[in-house]
């Protein structure tokens, strides 16, 4: 186990161009990140190509054993990784934040290592015998976001390595240190050259997406960037898994208990200070309990401490960057200007250091308001009234996004009936955004395509091959 200072030193370049990374909570320097070039990317791809055949040849059992050791390595350095993540991304150590994220990295590594994937007999009728196998793709490109930089990188890396692939990782320019440190820890347990981080700008990501030696791209991020990846990957017919923007709806049915669901609603929306693709971003509440839900949710939100992530008492942190802060501020002010009622928040402290935007609840807002129709990706939740379930379903399905959704009710059977009518890749009942490494996860409509997690996620990192005869 390395100390925090040793871990940071291990990823600090001795030479070459660097970029200064600042803490979004305090503005202080976290560290120096390398600025890798196209030439660095080419070297990483060549090393991955060289390392991949031997790794694939080890077979599932040996690869799984290495991933389990990698999970142990993550746990040995868990506190150091969490501190770095908190300083770079801004999320607090406690709550469903930095320590939670590092713990999830170990959990997903173990799940990818231990999920069974046996050849499937598809026909055996005495005349025809056919088996379905999954072979490695080769080299996988993993392009990750800044909101959950470690965890989402593991979502990409773990199944790719389990299936016998090498991986070249391109982290967000906002949070490269977290990913560099995580991969440094993982590389203690996997062969040299198999797993590399290329910390460059947009041109590096574009080259990765079009590179002829990359067999698949896994990407989590905006729909616009996903569309660009689709276009740039077309000439080489790459396989793609795209987890794109979400604007998840939650529907509270009239039989729900406002006090009982308030905390679940809060964390479904405000986890990671709202900076989560599958967070609850627009809440539809029946007229009969609308005021009660607003009151109970306000009580919960008002009690949640926000501040610098390294302070143990905090559970909400800053927005990660100024651009996102300005998006949230613009949308809330537009809602206020339209006549919507701000129940809580909405007035950031101009004298406070860092990109802190207070937890904000906006009631009596029109469904066509930009705070509802645009993904805010921050701590501001619009709460929309509805009179009939048909009206709520129509509004929930009215946008191009379809990553997740949720239904809240005392009657689970009725909630499931409503869930079946929603256009989303995952619909949760009486919770929102809870992911599980055993359960497939992916988007509908313009929220992307392809599945992650579970056996289906493993299969997505392989090339299906039928052996017939």
Same domain, 63 and 128: yes
Residue of 80, 105, 277, 452 marked active site? 277
Quick one: pLDDT band at residue 352, thresholds 50, 70, 90?
A: confident
Q: Do residues 385 and 294 make contact, with C-beta atoms less than 8 angstroms apart?
A: no
Same domain, 393 and 270: yes
Q: Which domain holds residue 55?
A: 4-244+447-468
HSE-CB at 212 with a 13 A cutoff on CA atoms is 1
Same domain, 195 and 174: yes
pLDDT at residue 350 is higher than 90: no
pLDDT at site 69: 98
pLDDT at residue 1 is higher than 80: no
Same domain, 295 and 275: yes
**What H or E segment, with its residue span, contains residue 57?**
helix 38-57
Residue of 101, 243, 296, 452 marked active site? 243
CATH (domain of 268)? 3.40.309.10
Question: Measured between alpha carbons, how far is residue 52 from residues 46, 115, 138, 166, 186 in Å?
Answer: 10, 21, 7, 5, 16
Same domain, 269 and 351: yes
Bridge partners of 241, per DSSP, are: 218
Does residue 101 lie in a domain region? yes
Same domain, 271 and 223: no
Q: Residue 390 contacts by C-beta under 8 Å, 6 or more apart in sequence?
A: none
C-alpha gyration radius of the chain: 23
pLDDT at residue 278 is higher than 80: yes
Same domain, 209 and 335: no
d(CA 462, CA 234): 19
The string of pLDDT tens digits covering residues 225-255 is: 999 999 999 999 999 999 998 999 999 999 9
Question: Measured between alpha carbons, how far is residue 72 from residues 67, 76, 102, 436, 455 in Å?
Answer: 9, 6, 12, 20, 22
DSSP annotation of 306 reads B
Quick one: pLDDT band at residue 74, thresholds 50, 70, 90?
A: very high
Active-site annotation holds for 243: yes
Question: Which tokens sit at 409?
Answer: 């009710």
CATH (domain of 124)? 3.40.605.10
Q: Do residues 447 and 425 make contact, with C-beta atoms less than 8 angstroms apart?
A: yes
HSE-CB at 274 with a 13 A cutoff on CA atoms is 25
d(CA 97, CA 18): 28
pLDDT at site 52: 98
Average predicted confidence (pLDDT) for the chain: 97
The string of pLDDT tens digits covering residues 6-61 is: 999 999 999 999 999 999 999 999 999 999 999 999 999 999 999 999 999 999 99
pLDDT at residue 174 is higher than 80: yes
Same domain, 345 and 229: no
HSE-CB at 61 with a 13 A cutoff on CA atoms is 0
The string of pLDDT tens digits covering residues 415-445 is: 999 999 999 999 999 999 999 999 999 999 9
Same domain, 195 and 182: yes
Same domain, 207 and 289: no
Bridge partners of 135, per DSSP, are: 463
d(CA 74, CA 89): 18
Percent of the chain scored above 90 by pLDDT?
Answer: 98
d(CA 130, CA 133): 10
Same domain, 295 and 214: no
Active-site annotation holds for 101: no
Which residue intervals of 77-148 are DSSP H helices? 78-89, 98-114
Quick one: pLDDT band at residue 351, thresholds 50, 70, 90?
A: confident
Q: Which residue carries 């949760």 as its tokens?
A: 428
Percent of the chain scored above 70 by pLDDT?
Answer: 100
The string of pLDDT tens digits covering residues 262-271 is: 999 999 999 9
Same domain, 395 and 274: yes
The string of pLDDT tens digits covering residues 175-212 is: 999 999 999 999 999 999 999 999 999 999 999 999 99
Number of domains into which the chain is organized: 2
d(CA 37, CA 31): 19
Quick one: pLDDT band at residue 378, thresholds 50, 70, 90?
A: very high
What's the mean pLDDT in 288-294?
98
Does residue 52 lie in a domain region? yes
Which residue intervals of 120-273 are DSSP H helices? 149-162, 176-186, 202-210, 223-233, 258-270
């Amino acid at each position: 186990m390395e100390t925090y200072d040793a871990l940071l030193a291990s990823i600090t370049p001795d030479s070459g161009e660097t970029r200064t990374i600042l803490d979004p909570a305090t503005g202080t320097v976290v560290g120096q990140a390398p600025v890798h070039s196209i030439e660095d990317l080419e070297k990483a791809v060549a090393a991955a190509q060289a390392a991949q055949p031997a790794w694939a040849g080890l077979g599932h059992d040996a690869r799984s054993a290495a991933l389990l050791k990698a999970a142990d390595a993550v746990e040995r350095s868990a506190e150091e990784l969490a501190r770095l993540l908190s300083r770079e991304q801004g999320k607090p150590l406690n709550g469903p934040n930095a320590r939670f994220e590092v713990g999830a990295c170990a959990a997903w590594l173990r799940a990818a290592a231990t999920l069974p994937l046996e050849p499937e007999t598809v026909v055996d009728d005495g005349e025809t015998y056919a088996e379905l196998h999954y072979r490695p793709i080769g080299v996988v490109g993993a392009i990750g976001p800044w909101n959950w930089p470690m965890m989402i990188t593991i979502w990409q890396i773990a199944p790719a390595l389990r299936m016998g692939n090498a991986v070249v990782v391109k982290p967000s320019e906002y949070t490269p240190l977290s990913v560099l440190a995580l991969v440094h820890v993982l590389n203690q347990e996997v062969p040299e050259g198999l797993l590399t981080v290329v910390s460059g700008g947009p041109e590096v990501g574009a080259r990765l997406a079009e590179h002829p030696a990359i067999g698949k791209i896994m990407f989590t991020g905006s729909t616009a960037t996903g569309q660009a990846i689709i276009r740039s990957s077309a000439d080489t017919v790459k396989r793609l898994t795209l987890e794109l923007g979400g604007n998840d709806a939650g529907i509270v049915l009239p039989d729900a208990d406002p006090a009982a669901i308030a905390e679940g609603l809060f964390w479904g929306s405000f986890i990671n200070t709202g900076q989560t693709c599958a967070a609850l971003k627009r809440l539809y509440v029946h007229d009969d309990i609308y005021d009660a839900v607003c009151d109970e949710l306000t009580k919960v939100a008002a009690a949640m401490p926000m501040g610098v992530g390294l302070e143990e008492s905090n559970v909400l942190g800053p927005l990660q960057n100024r651009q996102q802060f300005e998006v949230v501020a613009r949308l809330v002010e537009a809602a206020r200007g339209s006549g919507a009622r701000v129940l809580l928040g909405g007035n950031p402290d101009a004298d406070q250091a860092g990109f802190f935007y207070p937890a904000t609840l906006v009631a009596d807002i029109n469904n066509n308001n930009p705070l509802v129709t645009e993904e805010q990706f921050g701590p501001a939740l619009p709460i929309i009234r509805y009179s009939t379930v048909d009206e709520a379903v129509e509004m929930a399905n009215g946008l191009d996004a379809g990553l997740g959704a949720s239904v809240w009710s005392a009657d689970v059977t009725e909630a499931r009936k409503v869930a079946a009518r929603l256009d989303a890749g995952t619909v949760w009942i009486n919770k929102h955004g809870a992911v599980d490494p055993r359960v497939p996860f992916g988007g509908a409509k313009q929220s992307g395509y392809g599945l992650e997690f579970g056996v289906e996620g493993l299969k997505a990192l392989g090339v299906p091959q039928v052996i017939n005869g």
